[in-house]
Each structure stands twice: as C-alpha cells, then as structure tokens.
Amino acid sequence: MTAAPHDALASASLVLARHFHRGATLWCWSPAWPTHAEHLAVEFVHPVIVGKRARPAIVLAPDGAAARLRHSARPGDVLVAIGSGDDAGLLDVVGRAPAWGIGAILLAHGERPTIDTGANVVWLGAAADHADIVCAYHLLWELTHVCSEQPDLLDGAAEASTCPACMDAGELGEVDVATAGFDSTVIVAGLRRHIDLTLVEPCQSGDLVIVHAGVAIKRLEAPVILGATRG
Amino acid sequence: MVEDTGFLYPFLGETARDPAEVLADLGRSAAAKWDESRTLRQRTLVELEAELTQAAIPAAGRVRAGGRILALGNGGSATDASAFVRMCDAAAPRSLPAISLAAEPAVLTALANDIGIDVIFARQLAAHGRPGDVVIAFSTSGGSANVLAAVDHARRGGILTIAIAGYGGGALRTRVDHCLCIDSDSVHRIQEAQTAVAAKLVALISTHLERPGPS
C-alpha cells in the first residue's frame, strides 16, 4: 500500500470549500461504480454531523455526464470524478471541465493518472479498494467543512483558468458549432463565444482548442488529461 | 448523530494562519484518520471471521436452492446496499443473484408518500420476497425503523436475515438471524468498515456456493 494521500485530500478540500463559498454546486460522478457518487452527494446534502451546513450536491448518471455538465452546470460549479486513473472516458470529462467553467477534482484509484491540466488529483494508490475510496471521500467531506469554517482560507482568488498546453494566457475551449469562416461558436469558461477557428480548421463539434483573443490558436489532438496507459 | 469535530482540530484557532500551514495540519489529520479506518477494518474482519462464515454458509445454501439476495438501507447505507448488489454481480468464483431495494426512486417515493417512510422496504419485501431469499440490511445506527420493519417482515416470511450494522447492532441485533457489528463511535468509520465487511461476505457466499461446506 502506498502512503496515505492525505496532503492531496487536504488541498482538494480547500478547493471544494472555496467553490462552495462562491456558490458552487458539486457534481458527483463515478461512472464505473455509481454508488460512490451517490454516497458522496448524500454526505454533502445531508451531513451526518448535526449543525453542519447542507451543501448542494448532485449525482451524475454514468452515461451522458458531459452533456449534463455542458448544459446544466453553471460556470463556477465543481466536479468530483471518482474512478480508475486509466479510465479514458472519466479523464476526458475531467479534461473538458475547464472549458465549461467547472472546477474538477479527480479521486483516482488503480493506475496512476497522468495529469497535465489544472485538475486537482487525489490518487489513492493501485491497491485501493472500495472501503479506501469511501474513506477518502468521507475525509474530503470532513476537511471541506473544516476549511469552510476558516474564513481566512476562503477568500483566496479563484483558481486561474490557465491552460498548461499554452504558455500564453490561453483558455481551454470546446467547439460547439464549427462553421466555415470566422463565426464558429466555442464554449470558453462556460460561455458560448464567437471564435475564429480558421487557424485550426478543420474542426468539429466537441474538439478542444486553445483560445486567445477571440482566436483559436491550437487544436488539442488528445484530451488535456493523458491517461496513464496511453503512449 | 451528534458528533462535534471542533475538538478534533485543536490547531485551528481564531487567528488567521498561513493556508499552507493549515493544509499541512489537515493532511496530518487525514493521515491519522486514514490509518484509523484501515486499522478498524482489519480488526473488524478478524473479529467477525467466525460470524461471517456462520452467515455466509446458510446464505449460500439459500442461493443454491434458488433464493435471491435483497439488500436495503437508508442514506449512505442505501448506497452500501446498492454497492453490495454490484459486488454480487462481480463476485468470484460465482456471481450471486441480488437486487437493491434502495435503488428504486419511483417505488421508494410512492411508498413514502402514500403510506409512510417506515414501510418503504417492508412493502417491497411483500412484493419481491420469497421463502428462501436472503435479506442484507445495512444500518449504521442499527435502529432505523424501516429497516427493523423490513427484517421483522422478512423473518415472518421465512427469509434469512443478515444485518451489517454499527453501534453494537442496536435494536437490529436481536431481530436478525446474523448481525455483523462494527465497534466504532464514528458514523464514517463504521460505514467504511461496513464496506469491507460487505465485500468479505460476498466473497464468502460466492466461495461457499461453489464449494459447499458443512452446514
């Protein structure tokens, strides 16, 4: 067994507390084992400790999570995704979350995920079992409430939506409607914007691009999170 | 459950502190609780070794004769019940027939709205349950009224009842055929141990289904 992922849990808890402080809803998703998402949501909505504040948390069904988040989440919301670190579908949604303006926390077991975006990653180790996963999100819940009760911790600036694929002030965008010319629609930080795609054409709906000054300057060939099992 | 966390974090005073320092303290606290959880789970599986086998053998016998596992619980224990069913699907060497009575929102809300929350599982057992089935009841407190009503109904109907519960089993302890109790005062540590006990029980039932032992 690897060392306890305690420091990553503490950091993720502060991220969650800051999101709640700014009015976020927590979206819980555990596509390979849906009861973890259900359990996480009930912890936050109906705290086991009397007097703790109820927090808005919603379960995402295993299928259709990207569409739910794209259309029903608000910019500033936060996703906790639970699953194996080599689950390509899981990592794809976590990687797209910044385009939708959504913070993302990945609670991973099994293969260690290789991450190169701003997602907060808690890796529980290759040998983590279901009880370990339950313990991890119980601690995430508890530490989030502890952070929420420390006002001086909560007023930190919102996490910048920087993209590590671009050293400039680029933002991650997800192509919504690709049309020839200068008038395509791209979702950036949760807002649909008219973006010039001519530098990165051909594009299609769902492609991820780096947007700078109203122009898509790079098309990402792979999701911004690379699974551990990918070359 | 009333559980005050303030005393668990004495390092968090009123004065503003460097966030990095606070996070380091929270990380140490998380590490201690992680260890506490793993220790409790290991100790629980050792302490319950005989009782787990005593529950698994008749459960396997029921399944072998055509019985089905019906899992139930409230809140976090509802997710334990549904997870138990998923574990039954994936069990080795043999998968186990199981359904979760906690995963039916239309049925649950219909019963809660039309009759009352105390019957949400008992009424489902009236519909699904057959003599020879096995009920797995999860209750962190051991005292949930609708869980007690369900196991009472089940026993009257010839259904084997197994509880996985905290706080010494509570009222459930004397109302079921087998009570697998977790000895802890923390709801969360109990639930984590419940998960470990559930996984072990599924594995044992599956093993005894494949290779019948003495009963």
Other beta carbons within 10 angstroms of residue A147's beta carbon come to 24
Residues of A with CB under 8 A from a CB of B: 4, 6-7, 9-11, 13-14, 33-36, 38-39, 42-43, 46, 48-51, 129-132, 134-136, 138-139, 142-143, 145-147, 149-150, 152-153, 156
> What's the Cα-to-Cα distance from A87 to each of A107, A140, A220, B53, rounded to whole Å?
12, 22, 19, 35
| Residues B192, A135: C-beta atoms closer than 8 Å | yes
Alpha-carbon span B164 to B177, nearest angstrom: 11
pLDDT 10s digit of each residue in chain B, 215 long?
444 555 556 566 556 678 888 899 999 999 999 999 999 999 999 999 999 999 999 999 999 999 999 999 999 999 999 999 999 999 999 999 999 999 999 999 999 999 999 999 999 999 999 999 999 999 999 999 999 999 999 999 999 999 999 998 999 999 999 999 999 989 999 999 999 999 999 999 999 998 765 55
| Residues A152, B2: C-beta atoms closer than 8 Å | no
Residues A155-190 have pLDDT tens digits of: 765 544 444 554 556 889 999 999 876 789 999 999
Contact A216, A195 (CB under 8 A): yes
Alpha-carbon span A165 to A183, nearest angstrom: 24
When pLDDT is averaged across residues A105-134 and rounded to a whole number, the result is 88
What letter represents residue B165's amino acid?
A
Counting Cα atoms < 13 Å in the Cβ hemisphere of A194 gives 4
DSSP code at position A158? P
DSSP letter string over A130-147?
A: HHHHHHHHHHHHHHHHHH
Other beta carbons within 10 angstroms of residue B47's beta carbon come to 14
Alpha-carbon span B50 to B204, nearest angstrom: 11
Alpha-carbon span B176 to B162, nearest angstrom: 6
Query: Which chain B residues contact residue A137 at CB under 8 A?
Result: none
Q: Number of residue pairs across A and B with CB atoms under 8 Å?
A: 113
pTM: 0.89
Alpha-carbon span B12 to B37, nearest angstrom: 23
Q: Is B27 on the interface with A (CB under 8 A)?
A: yes
Which of B19, B79, B187 lies nearest to residue A156, judging by beta carbons?
B19
Contact A112, A123 (CB under 8 A): yes
| Residues B4, A49: C-beta atoms closer than 8 Å | yes
Query: Which chain A residues contact residue B83 at CB under 8 A?
Result: 33, 35-36, 130
Residues A181-201 have pLDDT tens digits of: 678 999 999 999 999 999 998
Which of B7, B15, B26 is most worth mutating to test chain A (most A CB atoms within 10 A of its CB)? Answer: B26
Query: Which chain B residues contact residue A49 at CB under 8 A?
Result: 1-5
Closest C-alpha among A150, A151, A145 to residue A48: A145
- Cα distance from A67 to chain B (closest Cα, Å)? 23
Alpha-carbon span A164 to A170, nearest angstrom: 9
Q: Which helix (H) or strand (E) holds A225?
A: strand A225-226
| Residues B12, A153: C-beta atoms closer than 8 Å | no
